[in-house]
Amino acid sequence: MPRIGEPAPEFTAVTTQGEINFPSDYAGKWVILFSHPADFTPVCTSEFITFAAMQNEFSAYNTDLVGLSVDGLYSHIAWLRTIREKISFNGHSDVEVTFPLIEDITMEVATKYGMIMPGEDSTKAVRAVFVVDPEGIVRTLLYYPLSLGRNFDELLRIVKGLQAADHFAVATPADWRPGDKVIVPTAGSCGTAKDRMTDVESGMDCQDWFFCTKDISADEVEEAIRAKN
């Protein structure tokens, strides 16, 4: 299983949008690589409709989507056609899925990424999510059981939070959203710790030497990330 901070394992795969080489084809882009258990299943159908409906929101943050299941290409195509022609969810209908969906009958990619959990199912991928940065480095891992649909607001929040942390050299606290206070990196020396408590920088709020925050407006976050992308 890949770990945070490691290069995303490389693979070449057939998809509903043609062959891809991962992650090299996505150099300079953020990517959400995610697996689902099977085509023509209700939870997966709700997730694909949601991903497709939010694709432009992810794209605004220079983030592409790549799906995977252990089903074959023709099954993928038939399922995505059925979604567009027959299925509605959360007010979304006639939804066309245009991001690639990987055919992984051999489970080669699923195995390489640790998407198969034998205790859950030995022949289906769990709902795994890998957020990969523009340098091809794994930045976030999420795993959901077969029965639990993903939280898509959280996936978008993760993308925004990672990009904001990189750009502003800060960390983001619990439940952070653009516009909330961010965490200033912890003081690395006794002198800096003392200075923070006696001569706090303008705009910084230090409750103790290790817990300092500052404001970055939602507009600053959005403008900085969009400009960089």
pTM for the whole thing? 0.91
- The reply to whether 157 falls in a domain is no
Statement to judge: residues 179 and 119 lie in one domain: no
Residue scoring higher pLDDT (199 or 98): 98
Of 88-92, 121-125, 134-138, 141-145, the poorest mean pLDDT is in: 121-125
Residue 148, pLDDT > 90, answer yes
Residue 189, pLDDT > 90, answer no
What's residue 203's pLDDT? 72
- The reply to whether 156 falls in a domain is no
Which residue among 44, 190, 206, 212 is the active-site one?
44
Quote the tokens at residue 61: 């943050």
Residue 129, pLDDT > 70, answer yes
Q: CA–CA separation, 59 vs 112, rounded Å?
A: 26
Statement to judge: residues 73 and 184 lie in one domain: no
Domain total in the chain: 2
Contact 185, 215 (CB under 8 A): no
Statement to judge: residues 131 and 71 lie in one domain: yes
Residue 64, pLDDT > 90, answer yes
Q: CA–CA separation, 99 vs 48, rounded Å?
A: 10
Give φ, ψ of 192 to 5 degrees.
-65, -40
The mean pLDDT value for 56-82 works out to: 96
Of 2-11, 69-78, 99-108, 121-130, the poorest mean pLDDT is in: 121-130
Statement to judge: residues 142 and 185 lie in one domain: no
Q: CA–CA separation, 150 vs 144, rounded Å?
A: 7
- The reply to whether 85 falls in a domain is yes
Statement to judge: residues 146 and 216 lie in one domain: no
Of 60-69, 131-140, 192-201, 210-219, the poorest mean pLDDT is in: 192-201
The per-residue pLDDT for range 21-57, each reduced to its tens digit, is 999 999 999 999 999 999 999 999 999 999 999 999 9
Contact 121, 107 (CB under 8 A): no
The per-residue pLDDT for range 156-188, each reduced to its tens digit, is 999 999 999 999 999 999 999 999 999 988 766
Statement to judge: residues 184 and 79 lie in one domain: no
Statement to judge: residues 190 and 140 lie in one domain: no
Statement to judge: residues 100 and 188 lie in one domain: no
| Domain ranges, residue 140 | 11-150
* Catalytic status, residue 44: yes
User: Does residue 127 have a known ligand-binding role?
Assistant: yes
| Domain endpoint, select from 150, 178, 206 | 150
Q: Please provide the average confidence, as pLDDT, over all residues in the chain.
A: 92
Statement to judge: residues 145 and 212 lie in one domain: no
The per-residue pLDDT for range 89-126, each reduced to its tens digit, is 999 999 999 999 999 999 999 999 999 998 888 878 89
